[in-house]
Amino acid sequence: MTEATPTKLVCVGRNYAKHAVELGGVVPDEPLIFFKPPSSIVRTGEPIVIPDGIGRVDFEGEIAVVIGETARNVEAKNAWNVVQGIAPLNDVTARDLQRIDDQWGRAKGFDTFCPVGEMVHIAEIDLSNLTVLTRVNGEVRQQGNVQDLVFSIPTLIEYISGIMTLQVGDLIATGTPEGVGPLYAGDTVEVEVGGVGTLSNPVVGEN
């Protein structure tokens, strides 16, 4: 992972059509973005801590983009020029809280709810065929391909940078494929991005 601490983690919701359907939502007409705080980040091997009393907590394996230079109003055709690398990310979500809150800051923002793996530079990756796979206790739960994104990575960068300045080290989580499900204390969850690497985290209870 880049040494720079991200100023923000910009996440994209419902960016795989089948995932939108499985949660009872619809595919948006334009990217649906929300944020996770930098304080939610943990690295591979560090535990995901499930707080007491918040109900169901889900894994969401994703392809994350790491920004490599200050970017504002970037056109999609130039978007890869501002990207440093790709990393696996787990957008851990308190699903019951997400369903009752109009805003997702609480459901997405608990400490340890954003595991992020090691970054690989884009020059070393086939960007046209990125894949993401999530396993829980060794069992495959999610599989997705960047070609299945509703909004492509360059489109996301154009859209987001048209709203806010992206800084070096900022992360864009590009969405999760279908197959999300709950995590429990004692589980081990892995998110693998093909050609990049695997993020692995144990799951523990708060006490």
* pLDDT single digits (tens) 159-197: 999 999 999 999 999 999 999 999 999 999 999 999 999
SS3 190: strand
Chain segment 109-155, per-residue pLDDT in tens: 999 999 999 999 999 999 999 999 999 999 999 999 999 999 999 99
Q: Stretch 53-75: mean pLDDT, rounded?
A: 98
With contact defined as beta carbons under 8 Å apart, do 128 and 154 qualify?
A: no
Q: What is the distance between the terminal CA atoms of the chain, rounded to a whole angstrom? A: 30
Residue 190: inside a domain: yes
In the sheet that holds 93-94, the strands lie side by side as 93-94, 57-59, 181-182
Compute the radius of gyration of the chain from its Cα atoms: 16
Residue 57: inside a domain: yes
| pLDDT reading at 71 higher than 90 | yes
Residue 30: inside a domain: yes
Q: According to the model, what pLDDT value does residue 2 have?
A: 42
CATH of the domain at 63: 3.90.850.10
What's the domain count of the chain? Answer: 1
% of residues, the chain, pLDDT over 90: 90
Q: According to the model, what pLDDT value does residue 1 have?
A: 41
Residue 1: inside a domain: no
Residue 4: inside a domain: no
Q: What is the pTM of this model?
A: 0.95
Q: According to the model, what pLDDT value does residue 24 have?
A: 67
Q: What is the DSSP string of 45-71?
A: TSPEEE-TT---EEE-EEEEEEE-S-B
Residue 119: inside a domain: yes
Residue 3: inside a domain: no
Domain containing residue 51: 9-138+146-205
Element (DSSP H or E) covering residue 21:
helix 17-22
3 confidence band (pLDDT: 50, 70, 90): low
Euclidean distance between CA atoms 49 and 112, whole angstroms: 6
Euclidean distance between CA atoms 117 and 192, whole angstroms: 9
Residue 82: inside a domain: yes
Return all residues near 94 (Cβ < 8 A) that are at least 6 apart.
51, 54, 55, 56, 57, 106, 107, 108, 110, 113
Residue type, 151: F
Euclidean distance between CA atoms 93 and 76, whole angstroms: 29
The owner of tokens 């086939």 is: 126
Q: How many CB atoms lie within 10 A of CB 95?
A: 18
